[in-house]
Chains A and B, each alone.
Chain A
Amino acid sequence: MKADDPGGAMESSAARLSGVAFGALGTGLVLAGVISIAMGLPYQAHNMAPLAGPGEIGRRLGEISPLLAAALGALVVAGVVLLLGARRLKPASAAVELIVLGAAIEVCVLGAIGRIGYAADGSVLLAGVACLMGGAAVVAAGLIVALARE
């Protein structure tokens, strides 16, 4: 984009704004899903008991590491989104980061889906679905930000 191209700037701003919105949506969904599963509220995962407290994170690290990684990925996405919204990050760089983070979140959630895919009563666990949606939203954020021409 050239500096004297106000139309392009507007498109870029719109793309940034959209990317930020999708990134925030993805972060929220992933974090909400992970917290729900970790606390067993409102439904318990069929093969992952809720954490009794923070002290259990270390003891059950092997079991919860995929979810932990997804949550950490979501937090990094939140950071990227903040920097993008504050124009401290180039859209091209942010786009790559968001796409990679979104894909990583999806891989982590899918890796744990055998434990968290279903609720204790056998129905599909909404929190697991929310995590998958969150990862998709982050990838979408990356693709949209890639449209920003700066």
Chain B
Amino acid sequence: MKPRSSDAVRRGVGLVLAIDALALAVVLATAPAAFIWLDGSRPSPLAVSSAGASGSGAASPAATVSPGVASPSPSGAVATPTESAPAQTLTYGDGTWSRIPSLPQPLWGTGSALLKDGRVLVVGGSSGPVSSTAVATVEVFDPQANSWAAATPMLQARAYPATVTLPDGSVLVVGGSRDGLPLDSAERYFPDSVSWVSAGTMSVPRTHSTATVLQDGRVLVVGGGSDASSTFKSTNTAEIFDPATGNWTPTASMASSRALHTATLLADGEVLMAGGASTYHGSKGTVRATAEIYDPKSASWRAAAPLSVARYHHTAVLLSDGRVLIAGGWSFTTNTDPSLATAEIYDPAAGTWTPTGSMAVGRARARMTALPDGRVLVVGGVDPAYRVMATAEIYDPATGRWQPTGRLATAVMWPAMAVLRDGRVVVAGGALEALAGHVTAVCAIYTPPAP
């Protein structure tokens, strides 16, 4: 066969090069195509919205508190949205998650409180898996301006503090831990002067304790990890802070020591303690199914009916009808058992626990809060396979059922969470994985669906 001419060779090679160029163009075009496809196929449509809002209702003091969770304001006046910085809005079926500016730094295990002027205070927390990276920073979110602003730092860096808003509008931050050691110090933030003042020291150091504003304005602080060693042994002691005098007074101790429990102020002024762990270091701990009730009038404890299962790292809220909803958590401290999806309700009138609908998935270290309309929102947490979730669910006490209500842009464990005056919910930061090796600064606002 006669060899081909040099022109034919050039044409052949040119053809290959042309195909190469075409293939390269196709491969390069994959990037914008993927961008456009991913951007357009988020689990929700993207839109620009005005995320700010102004509230008109009066803020109330926090009454039902797990560490780091601000309680909702019962004043549910819906405000007119005002112009603000645009935010991405993610809508997944019912309920809307809107991106808001991120925290200045990634944080989890923070404390949060709703200030009387409708802003949200986020204090302390940790930027890493342990409290050696605890911070003293304080950030304030202004819903109207849709922005975060740094406030005067705390006197003490602390992670996992208990935080409550007092009747006078100041915020009490109690205990927590730093460098692996529980703290006995407390401090008080005065929004008007933007200043922190020492609130004395408790009789024992406490981390992962609870603080509850009693009906007379005093604060009941209960349990928590108190051992300075690495066992994180919890205490059964309780003490009361009087904002009027600034003094701490020991009160009766619980029958059982507990940390990572929940405390809920009941309608009659008593306080329900549920679950918790004797210690939460590795497999050495015992998780409690017991519950106890504190009566401020007699300054005494009495046993309540036990939970159906032992729980710690669970969540609790007071329902609008006076009952208490408890959900999720773990039953063992082994870090291998799956998180619980079950929920149960305590009826103070009957003194009994009744199972209610289970969440779609087990959640531990989630955040839960009551919405002004009586429903309950639970966000993030650790699933049964020890993955941190971005999903949220909403509980309707009328039906006893949980419904998915979308997901955040990022998975979160123990973010800061607070209910705004207009009924929306701010979620700030949180850990991205169960061991908190990675932490996020991402924040979002949740707008609940119509009941």
Residues of A within 8 A of B (CB): 2, 4-8, 10-11, 14-15, 18, 22, 25-26, 40, 44, 46-47, 49-50, 52, 60, 62-63, 113, 117-118, 120-122, 124, 128-129, 132-133, 136-137, 140, 143-144, 147
CA distance A9 to B365 in the complex (A): 66
Residues of chain B at interface, number, CB under 8 A: 44
Residue of A nearest to B29 (CB): A136
CA distance A40 to B437 in the complex (A): 11
Given A11-B12, A14-B17, residue A47 in contact with residue B411 (CB < 8 A): yes
CA distance A122 to B24 in the complex (A): 29
CB–CB B38/A144 < 8 A: no
CB–CB A47/B8 < 8 A: no
Given A49-B432, A113-B38, residue A122 in contact with residue B13 (CB < 8 A): no
CA distance A6 to B12 in the complex (A): 11
Chain A proximity mask over B401-440: 1 for CB below 8 Å, otherwise 0:
0000000011100000000000000000000110101101
CA distance A7 to B12 in the complex (A): 7
CB–CB A120/B410 < 8 A: yes
CB–CB B438/A7 < 8 A: no
Given A2-B1, A14-B16, A44-B438, residue A49 in contact with residue B433 (CB < 8 A): yes
Given A47-B390, A129-B38, residue A144 in contact with residue B409 (CB < 8 A): no
CB–CB A122/B16 < 8 A: no
CA distance A147 to B19 in the complex (A): 10
On chain B, the residues within 8 Å of A44 by CB distance are 410, 432, 438, 440
| Contact residues of B between 66 and 118, Cβ < 8 Å to A | 88, 90, 99, 102
Query: Is B42 part of the contact surface with A, judged by Cβ < 8 Å?
Result: yes
CB–CB B442/A124 < 8 A: no
CB–CB A14/B3 < 8 A: no
Interchain pairs with CB closer than 8 A, number: 124
Of A5, A10, A50, the contact of B1 (CB 8 Å cutoff): A5
CB–CB B410/A121 < 8 A: yes
CA distance A128 to B31 in the complex (A): 10
Given A15-B16, A129-B35, A147-B19, residue A118 in contact with residue B442 (CB < 8 A): no
Among B5, B38, B102, B437, residue most surrounded by chain A Cβ atoms (within 10 Å): B38
CB–CB B38/A122 < 8 A: no
On chain B, the residues within 8 Å of A120 by CB distance are 409-410, 432, 440, 442
On chain A, the residues within 8 Å of B26 by CB distance are 136, 140
CB–CB B9/A46 < 8 A: no
Query: Is B30 part of the contact surface with A, judged by Cβ < 8 Å?
Result: yes
Chain A proximity mask over B1-24: 1 for CB below 8 Å, otherwise 0:
101111011001101110110011
| Contact residues of B between 27 and 58, Cβ < 8 Å to A | 27-28, 30-31, 34-35, 38-39, 42
Of B17, B437, B442, the contact of A122 (CB 8 Å cutoff): B442
CB–CB B9/A10 < 8 A: yes
Given A7-B12, A18-B20, A120-B440, residue A46 in contact with residue B409 (CB < 8 A): yes
Query: Is B375 part of the contact surface with A, judged by Cβ < 8 Å?
Result: no
Query: Is B154 part of the contact surface with A, judged by Cβ < 8 Å?
Result: no
CB–CB B30/A132 < 8 A: yes
B339–chain A nearest beta-carbon distance, Å: 16
A50–chain B nearest beta-carbon distance, Å: 6
Query: Is B281 part of the contact surface with A, judged by Cβ < 8 Å?
Result: no
CB–CB B23/A50 < 8 A: no
CA distance A60 to B388 in the complex (A): 12
B383–chain A nearest beta-carbon distance, Å: 11
B445–chain A nearest beta-carbon distance, Å: 13
18 more CB-based (< 8 A) A-B contacts, given A124-B38, A136-B26, A143-B23: A2-B1, A5-B1, A5-B3, A6-B3, A8-B12, A10-B9, A10-B13, A18-B19, A49-B432, A52-B433, A63-B387, A120-B409, A120-B432, A121-B409, A121-B410, A122-B88, A133-B28, A144-B23
A90–chain B nearest beta-carbon distance, Å: 18
Given A6-B9, A11-B15, A122-B88, residue A46 in contact with residue B410 (CB < 8 A): yes
CB–CB B102/A121 < 8 A: yes
Residue of B nearest to A53 (CB): B437
On chain B, the residues within 8 Å of A60 by CB distance are 387
Given A6-B9, A7-B9, residue A133 in contact with residue B27 (CB < 8 A): yes
CA distance A25 to B23 in the complex (A): 12
On chain A, the residues within 8 Å of B17 by CB distance are 14
On chain A, the residues within 8 Å of B99 by CB distance are 122
Given A124-B38, A129-B31, A132-B30, residue A49 in contact with residue B411 (CB < 8 A): yes
Among A6, A25, A136, residue most surrounded by chain B Cβ atoms (within 10 Å): A136
CA distance A121 to B429 in the complex (A): 11
CA distance A8 to B23 in the complex (A): 21
CB–CB A5/B39 < 8 A: no
CB–CB B23/A22 < 8 A: yes
